[in-house]
């Protein structure tokens, strides 16, 4: 099986719907094998999203991701990366397929409720940034 890094974003924790999102992930066959609620400092968000530096949405993204608590998770399952991205739906909630997390809970292109690693390389990097080995069980 495979592992991926998932984030429940500030727009979702603010509305108290973390549990609804976790139920969707579990329903899709993903297992939460690490989880913690944190409030990122600017430097944490900048390190995580370094690949987006220079994009027009970057500054707003850093501001948003530090605007409230988030839930960091490691998910495990068969094809976890693709499986998670399928249940998340497209980046922009209006483009997301019916029944996906972003379609049902996302507010807009920025406030889209969840993050999921997009490749095995990203997953490895993001999991390493967010969790110690001993926190993944
Ligand atoms: P994520 O990386 O969060 O899983 P993604 O891979 O679908 O989402 P990316 O292109 O990696 O999307 O962008 C990262 C995040 O930056 C998006 O989830 C969204 O919150 C924000 N973002 C991306 N594009 C835009 C945009 N055009 N306007 C506003 N915010 C954006
Ligand atoms: Mg991405």
Q: What is the domain-level CATH number for residue 72?
A: 3.30.70.141
Total structural domains within the chain: 1
137 domain-assigned: no
Rounded to the nearest angstrom, the distance between the alpha carbon of 121 and the centre of ligand 2 is 12
DSSP state, residue 124: H
Residue nearest to atom 3 of ligand 1 (CA): 115
pTM for the model stands at 0.97
Alpha-carbon separation of residue 112 from 52, 69, 117, 127 (angstroms): 16, 15, 14, 20
115 has catalytic annotation = yes
- Using most ligand atoms within 8 A of CB, pick from 66, 72, 91 the residue to mutate for ligand 1: 91
Establish if 128 belongs to a structural domain: yes
Q: Is residue 42 part of a domain?
A: yes
Among left, alpha and beta (phi > 0; psi -120 to 50; other), residue 77 is: left
Model pLDDT, residue 67: 98
- Which value does ipTM take for this structure? 0.93
Residue 91 is assigned to a structural domain of this protein: yes
| C-beta neighbour count of 115 within 10 angstroms | 21
Residue 17 has a pLDDT of: 98
Asked, for residue 107, whether it belongs to a domain, the answer is yes
Report if residue 99 sits inside a domain.
yes
pLDDT in tens, 7-25: 999 999 999 999 999 999 9
Which domain covers residue 127, as residue numbers? 2-132
- The pLDDT value recorded for residue 48 is 98
- For ligand 1, say whether the CB of 103 is within 6 Å of any of its atoms: no
List per-block mean pLDDT (blocks of 10 residues) for the chain, which spans 137 residues.
98 98 98 99 98 98 98 99 98 98 98 98 98 98
- Give the closest residue to 78 by CA, choosing from 19, 22, 15, 4: 4
Tell me, using a 6 A CB cutoff, whether residue 91 lines ligand 1.
yes
Identify the CA nearest to 12 among candidates 74, 128, 104: 104
Our answer on whether the CB atom of 63 is closer than 6 Å to any ligand 1 atom is no
Determine if residue 99 is left, alpha or beta; phi over 0 gives left, psi from -120 to 50 gives alpha, anything else beta.
left
């Amino acid at each position: 099986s495979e592992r991926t890094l998932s984030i429940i974003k500030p727009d979702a924790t603010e509305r108290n719907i973390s549990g609804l999102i976790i139920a969707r992930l579990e329903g899709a066959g993903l297992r939460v094998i690490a989880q913690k609620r944190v409030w990122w400092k600017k430097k944490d968000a900048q390190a995580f999203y370094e690949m987006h530096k220079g994009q027009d949405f970057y500054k707003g993204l850093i501001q948003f991701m530090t605007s409230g608590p988030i839930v960091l998770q490691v998910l495990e399952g068969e094809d976890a990366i693709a499986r998670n991205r399928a249940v998340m739906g497209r980046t922009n909630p209006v483009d997301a397929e019916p029944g996906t997390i972003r379609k049902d809970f996302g507010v807009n292109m920025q406030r889209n409720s969840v993050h999921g690693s997009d490749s095995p390389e990203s997953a490895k990097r993001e999991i390493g940034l967010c969790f110690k080995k001993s926190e993944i069980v």
